[in-house]
Every structure is written in structure tokens, then in C-alpha cells.
Chain A
Amino acid sequence: MTKELRRLSTILLVMFLALFCSTSVIQVVQADTLAQNAGNKRALYDSFDVQRGSIIASGAAIASSVPSKDLYSWQRQYVDPEMWAPVTGYINPVLQSSTGIEQALNQQLSGTGSSQFLSRVERIVTGQPARGSNVVLSLDAKVQKAAYDALGDLQGAVIALEPKTGRVLAMASTPSFDTNALASHDPDAVNKAYDELLKDPANPLYNRAIAGNLNPPGSTFKLVVVSAALASGRFTPASKLPNPARYTLPGTSTPISNDTGGTCGPGKEVSIADALRLSCNIPMAQLAVKVGAQAIREEAQKYGFNSAFQLPLTSTPSSYPRVLDDAQTALTGFGQGKVTATPLQMAMVSAGIANGGIVMKPRMVDQVVGPDLSVQQRFDSEEYGRALDEGLDRQLVEMMVANVSRGVATNARIDGVDVAGKTGTAQNGDERPFSLWFTGFAPAEDPQVAVAVVVENGGGVGQSGSGNTIAAPIAKKVMEAVLGK
């Protein structure tokens, strides 16, 4: 019986060890993730009790807490609320909800993150009131303003990245909303404001820069197709493609044409470089079929397609579909069919090309600073992966520069600076307005900023606008703001 009892004790020991592990996993390993779960009301309740930290951009607080005399001790206030809405989001004890940085970094802002453990213990010991930490964003107020102002009354979004680091410099989305109205402690007013925003057909609560209803990327996706072609080793920018005026999708009777309605420049054949510069659909559709859906998908995923990113705001994955026939593959050659992308994704494509082929993980926060101004947490730049081998990136840069200097993206030109770019004019169905795109970077030789712009709903002019006429000028203003022009 003794032997059996010893074995039984071992089993019991294992059972208890399993319990020690499961509690530790919840309370230590997963504690931060669980606290950030959108369904977790505890973290939210906690955050109403303390003076929440500020959200800081370009050295100034864009969200801060001031004392309040009502039910809750603190009132949240936002500076330039519409401009910063997609970034800061809002937090409201009455609605019991939060979005944006307020939600994603709630732990830090309310002072309950694990990196603030020691300062929390210190406060308990010294009896000081609890205070949250400040979040310092990577965003630049000047660039953000340029982006927001440039969008104006249009429905769309802008995102600007620093190619070498992945830092987000601007993230604007229009139409926007008044975060102060949603931070109100008056239940009736705030519920009314929220319901109105929900009912608005333009969906002002969407952050179109990283989420919302995703748009087809149109011709901007040709950058990915050409990347895949170059990466395969079977093509160079000079490789020739057939140049008919009409092309029937393989296995169907559906014809497609170039934007111009004719051939892509003169001649029976056209080079990949010229096809990209003139943004022709037929050569790219044929190229896509030759390269193959598999290779394009792999290349797209190297740029970040089919993945969500935590900036720490969660982006909606851009999608290059899993299963495609030849006809559908041909459509993806010019960013139509079932391909969809966020501006963030297209900016990452440009930034990857600009950064020697290395894609950086996008991030919006530089550091978390305690109430005593000590740095509690630093966010480092991380590589997502290499999308283009060395040498190939320069070939793409040259093609993108040509695109702006003597192609179809002329409205992105900046005096004295080489701008690399690609426009897109994406169809959403026969009668529906276009989605207008631009993505690119500047200066081409030493990129400081990569940008992507999308304007939805045809920019208000149905099917008569183009990426070059509506989106490119917006990108130009944003890039100028970064370059100090």
C-alpha cells in the first residue's frame, strides 16, 4: 500500500503543480493581455479612479485629465479632437467604453501596467494618490495637421510612416468625430451623440487608416505584383509583355482594357517599367498570371498582407485571397478582384521599398513616461521581414520615381525633391464611385516619409476622379510637411 500511496502523492503533487501553473499563467503571463481585452470592464473601472496620464504628441498633451466635480473624479479633455480622433480614441465612464490609444494603452495611462509595478508599490508605501503614466506618441502634430487639413471634406484616410523605423508620423481619417462630445459625463448627451455617430451613413467612428470597410488597392497593388515578378528572378524591369488593346480574362469571356482604352504606349510589346509608369492594366494582368497567385500572395504577405498589426491599435488585415483561378489572379494584377487593403498596408509597401526592402512593424508609441517624468517603457523598432532582396529595391525605386516625374502620378511632384510614388484608381462595381489611392515616399535617395492616401466615394465626383488628381496632391502636402517644405 505504501508504494501506491507514494505514487498517489506524486499524482497529487502534479495536480497541484498544474494549478500553480494555471494561476500563474493568468495572473502573470497573460495578465497584461487580459487587461487589454475589450470585454474586461475592470481595467476600465480602475481607470476612472485615478488621474489618467496624458497622451503626448510633439511635446504637447493632446489628451489629458482635469479634476471634475461630478460622479467621476476626472474629466478627459482632448485638443483638436477631430484631427486626433482616430489616434487617441476616447474613454468614457458613462458609456463604459474606450477606443484608440485610450483603450490599447489603458493600463499604462491608468497606471496599472506591469512596467509600473515598482512605482505602484512605491506609491502604496508612501501613500501618494495613484496616477497614470503619460504616453508619448511617435506622431508629429505638424504632419497630422497637414494630413487632416488636406483631406478636408473628403471621405478617406492618410497614414504616414518613417520607413527606417516603422514609426507612424500621421494617421488621419475623415469624416471624424468630436472626442470631447463622447467624453462627456452627461449620460443623455453622450448617448445621443454616440447614437448619431452610429447612424451616420459616412461612419465617422471608422478609423479608415487601419480599418473600416477595406478598399481594393487598385493600381497601387501593382507594386506588389512587380515585386513578386522581380523576386522570382524570371523578370527584370526591362522584360517585355504583350501589349494588346483588349484582353480577355483566362477561362472567361470577360474583356478588360487599359484606363486609356487603347494600348499601353506604342509597340506590340511593353516593358514592365513602362507598364508600371503608365499604370496599364492589361500587361500587369498578364504578368500576374505568369508570376502566379501563389508567388504574389507570398510576396504580399512579406509586406504584411493577411496579418493584423498592433500599433498598438489593432489593424484589420489586408487581404490577398487564399484560393484564386487564373481570371481572378489576372484581376489582382491591378489590385482588383478580391484584393483589399488598408492605407496602413499600402504605406508599408512603400516604406518597405524605401527601406532597402526591409519592412518594419508599424508603431505609434515611442515611450511611456511616469508622472515623475522617468521613462518606464520604451518601444523599439522591430523588423517585420525582408520583402525585396538587395538591389531589387533600387529597381522598384527607379520605376516609382519615373512614375511621378514622367508617368501618371505627376501631382505628387515636389520642387527639388525626388518623389517615388504610385497612384491607384480602384473600381468598386459598375456604377459605384471609385476609391482613389496614392502611395509613395520622399526623398527617393534618402526616404524620410512613406505615405498612403485613400479617398473613398470617388472624392465626391463619382467615376471621374483619379488617384493622381485627388489623392496625389494630399500625399504631396503630407510629404512636404515632413520634409519641412
Chain B
Amino acid sequence: MMRTPPGGTAAVRPEPATSGTASRPDGAQADTAVLRALRRIRVPQTQRNRELALLLFAFVINGAAVVLVQLGAAGEIDPKFLYYLGALTALALALHIVLRLTARDADPFVVPIATLLTGIGLAEIYRLDVHWGRHGWDAYSNRQLAWAGIALVGAIVLVILLRNYRVLFRYTYIFGLAGILLLILPIVPGLGTDANADVWVSLGFFTFQPGELAKICLAIFFAGYLVRTRDALTSVGTRFLGFTWPRARELGPLLVVWLVSLGIIVLQRDLGTGLLIFGMFVAMLYVATGKTSWVLMGVILAVGGAFVASRVLPYVQGRFTNWLDAFNPKLMDNSSFQLVNGIFGMAQGGLIGTGLGQGRPWLTPVAESDYIFPSLGEELGLFGLFAILVLYMVFTSRGLRVGLNGQDDFGKLLAVGVSFTIALQVFIMVGGVTRLIPLTGLTTPFLAAGGSSLVANWLIVAILLRISDAVRSRPRVVIG
């Protein structure tokens, strides 16, 4: 396998192809058959045209969803919210134009998928606001719209600034430190809020969930760290039971991440984030080293940790009981009320759903955040949920594709890490609300109400765009 030193190579960008002309006026006489062939296979704006078509499709669906919500829940069309939605559409188009100018070979699927998911989530949040009669800044949908605007601006800025994502490699350990700091912010006295799990930071005028940003920082850290140390991690070890087991020295980082995750679970009562970060690390570790023994140990540590936590920590124990015994009438009225009502909602939706704005998703508490998926299941039915899951699948597969085709290990690992995070987060949330696994508090990416999560996930979109652009704009015939 080809391996380029990360950060060491400058992006060699060929000139934009001028189709049809065989010779170039600037007199570059190195115009070999290979370069000509290269120019032919790279028709630059195809990706962007494809993206534009998909984006328009997403806009139509998003608009239609809001109109259907208004007709279904309020019985009339209120143009105001559609205008607001127009602003979001404009920002998505702005991102598209920025990509045309600066990253024309970026993956064409991620922006339309993220836009569509954000829009569908927004429509459902708006639908709940209509029911509860929330207006102005009390309405989650308006706040979500504002956050979506911030998220998109953030993504645009990142795409523009991060011309060469390999600079991130230089700051591996700074990102590691930042990630850890962000994770412990909520338990700093004076910053935390009184919510159920200590995952919020209050800055006076607004609250923020730093765990969401931490996952990006840690993905960068893991990618950088693993690229630097993979040789040591792969080459040495002792054979035992058919696996090559790492030496105690190389076990260190795995144990540290495990301890940090456990710390989050214990100190912040946040099972989801702990699980997410540990899962991301194990996956990246496996991809970097190719050692099944690491995965095995990771799974053993995770299962062991979960088992001990379920015995020792009352809140984890409660989650397990709610999961296994959700339909116990005693629990149904109390601790498993949300979970069971979400499931009732989905069952009510059936195959085709009640139609947007025509179900009763509000019967489930916090239907707009943790239970956005069952809410959508009630109104869009199984067909709608399958479509949403397929969107997530395509999104993740685009990220893994970047990993497969990538030119440098850092970019590959980073792309795999962030896209795996999204998939794992979907699995943890959707699996939780459908009782596949115990429910833990995370956000459903792009869909759920919550600004931090939206911003973080759109930053992931920007990172994926940048890495995928670098993959495609490399003259791959030459390199390999």
C-alpha cells in the first residue's frame, strides 16, 4: 500500500482542464499523453452540477415538508416560516457556490444529505411548536433555524480557511488537549447547568454542549496520534491465543481513552458521549493498525465497563431496567414512559405514517430532541424512517469512500473517524429509541433540536468536503 508522509506533501493541483483543446497557450510543453488523459477524465464541474441538482431536490422536499406541517397541524399556510427557511436555503446555496470556487471536486452528496436531514428535522420541530403554540425565541424551530444558519456559516468559513486540511496534523496534541478540556468543561463549577446529565455549559446568554465539539477535536487527535504511532502499535507484541497482543507500553493510549470515557460516564452521567468517543477510538485504532486484538480488547473493556457501570451507577442501572422491562406497567408510568410512548408513536405511524402534522408526536416528552426519530416515524411511517436511515447510510459511505480512496493516512483516518462517529451516533440514538440497545442521551445527527450538535455535524460536513476534494483533485493516474 502506498503511504505518503502526512502533512509533508503540498497539494499538487493540476491546471483546470480546458476541454476540447489539445495544446495550451502558456507553452507548457510537458503536455504528455498522460496529462491529456488526465484532463479528459477530470471534468471538473460535474460533481458540483450533481450537487446542485440534489440540493434543489432537497430544497423542494424541505419546503414541502413545512407546508405539509402547516396544512396538517394548523390548517393554513403561514408564509413567515417559509421565508425563514428561505434564508437557510440561501446559505446552503452559498456553501455550494463556495465549493464551486474553492473545492470543486468535493463529494457531491454530503451537502444535500445534510441539508435534507436538517430540513426534515426542522419541519418536525416546527410541527411540535405549532402544537404547543410556541412563538418567537420560545419556539425551538426558530432557534434551530438560527443555529442552522450559524452551522452553515461555520461550515462555509471552515471550507474557505481549511484549504489544506493537513495542517490539522501539526496540531494533533493541541486538538487532543482541547478535546479533553471541552469534555471536562461542564463539571467546572459555575459553568455547568442543572440538567439531568452534566453535559451542558452555560455562558450566561446561551448554553452549549461541548461534548459535540470535543468529538471533532478528538477525531483529529486520534487520527494524528495513530498515524504517528501505528508502527509501534503494529509491529511489536506477543502471540497468544492466535492473536498478537500489544505490549503493556502500547496499551497505554487505549487505557487512557477508556478511562476518559469512563470518567465521562461516571462524573457527568453521560453514557452516550463516553460510548461514542470510545467506539470512535476503537474503530480508528482498528483501521490504523489492522489488529483484531485491539478491537477484541476494546469490546471487552467496553462491555466490562458497561457491566460494572450498570451494577455500580444507579442511573446506568435504571437505563438497563427501562430497556429490558420497558413495558412493565409500573415503569411505563414513570421511568420508561418516554421510551414506551415513542414506540407507541412509531407503531401508530405504521407503514405510511399519519402524514406530517397529523400525528400526535407531542404525547412523547421531548419529542423534538431525543425523540425526534420516533416523532418522524409516527408522521412519516416506516417508509420515511427507511429513507432517513438510507440518507445516513449514504452519508457514512461517502466518508468511508474518502477513507478508501484517500492519499494520505491522516486524511483517511480523519474521514473515517468523523463519518463513523455520525453512524455510531445514529446507531446509539435510533437503537436506543427502538429498544435495540439501552437508551443513552445523545443527539440524532442533523435532525434533533440542539445547536451544538448541529454546528458540530456541519463542521464534520466541511471537513469531509475538504478531504474529499483533496482526494479527487489529485492526479491519481500518476500516483497510483
By a beta-carbon cutoff of 8 Å, the part of chain A in contact with chain B is 1-9, 12-13, 15-16, 18-20, 22-28, 30-31, 34-35, 37, 39-43, 45-46, 112, 114, 117, 121
Contacts and interface: CB of A to CB of B under 8 A. Distances in A.
A25 B436 CA distance: 10
B347 A19 contact: no
Interface in B422-454: 423-424, 426-427, 430-431, 434-436
Contact of B427 (A1, A15, A24, A41): A15
B416 A22 contact: no
A3 to B, nearest CB: 7
Given A12-B396, A28-B382, A42 B290 contact: no
A39 B332 contact: yes
Contacts of B392: 16
The 9 nearest A-B residue pairs measured at CB: A34-B347, A22-B434, A27-B382, A22-B436, A31-B347, A40-B344, A42-B348, A4-B287, A15-B427
Interface string B369-389: 000000001000110011001
B389 A42 contact: no
Nearest to A12: B423
A26 B427 contact: no
A30 B347 contact: yes
Greatest chain B CB density within 10 A among A15, A19, A24, A25 is at: A19
B404 A42 contact: no
Contacts, number: 127
B344 A12 contact: no
A9 B409 CA distance: 17
A20 B389 contact: yes
Contact of A23 (B1, B386, B412): B386
Nearest to B346: A26
A37 B363 CA distance: 15
B393 A16 contact: yes
A35 B400 contact: no
A15 B423 contact: yes
A260 B403 CA distance: 91
B285 to A, nearest CB: 10
B88 interface: no
Given A1-B288, A23-B389, A28-B351, 11 more contacts: A4-B286, A12-B400, A12-B423, A16-B423, A18-B427, A19-B426, A22-B436, A23-B434, A26-B377, A27-B377, A35-B344
Contacts of B409: 1
B329 interface: yes
Contacts of B431: 18-19, 22
Interface of B: 1, 283, 286-288, 290, 327, 329, 332-333, 340, 343-352, 359-360, 363, 377, 381-382, 385-386, 389, 392-393, 396-397, 400, 403-404, 409, 412, 416, 420, 423-424, 426-427, 430-431, 434-436
A112 B290 CA distance: 52
A43 B290 CA distance: 51
Contacts of B352: 121
A34 B350 contact: no
B64 to A, nearest CB: 17
Nearest to B353: A27
A28 B287 contact: no
A34 B349 contact: no
Contacts of B327: 37, 39
Contacts of B288: 1
A4 B389 contact: no
A444 B420 CA distance: 72
Chain B contact surface mostly: helix
A40 to B, nearest CB: 4
B400 A5 contact: yes
A316 to B, nearest CB: 15
A8 B416 contact: yes
Contacts of B435: 22, 26
Contact of A27 (B347, B397, B424, B436): B347
Given A3-B290, A4-B290, A9 B397 contact: yes
B389 A19 contact: yes
A98 to B, nearest CB: 15
Contact of A45 (B340, B346, B360, B412): B360
B5 to A, nearest CB: 15
A18 B377 CA distance: 16
Contact of A43 (B346, B348, B424): B348
A4 B403 CA distance: 11
A19 B350 contact: no
Contact of A8 (B347, B348, B400, B427): B400
Nearest to B419: A12
A114 B424 CA distance: 33
Greatest chain B CB density within 10 A among A2, A3, A23, A43 is at: A23
Greatest chain B CB density within 10 A among A2, A8, A41, A45 is at: A8
Given A22-B435, A46-B348, A9 B382 contact: no
Contacts of B1: 1-2
B400 to A, nearest CB: 5
Contact of B381 (A27, A42, A114): A27
Contact of A35 (B348, B382, B389, B393): B348
A8 B385 contact: no
B335 to A, nearest CB: 14
Contacts of A27: 346-347, 349-351, 377, 381-382, 385
A301 to B, nearest CB: 26
B287 A5 contact: yes
A282 B288 CA distance: 81
6 contacts: A12-B420, A18-B436, A22-B430, A27-B349, A39-B333, A114-B350
Greatest chain A CB density within 10 A among B287, B288, B350, B352 is at: B350
Contact of B345 (A2, A12, A24, A42): A42
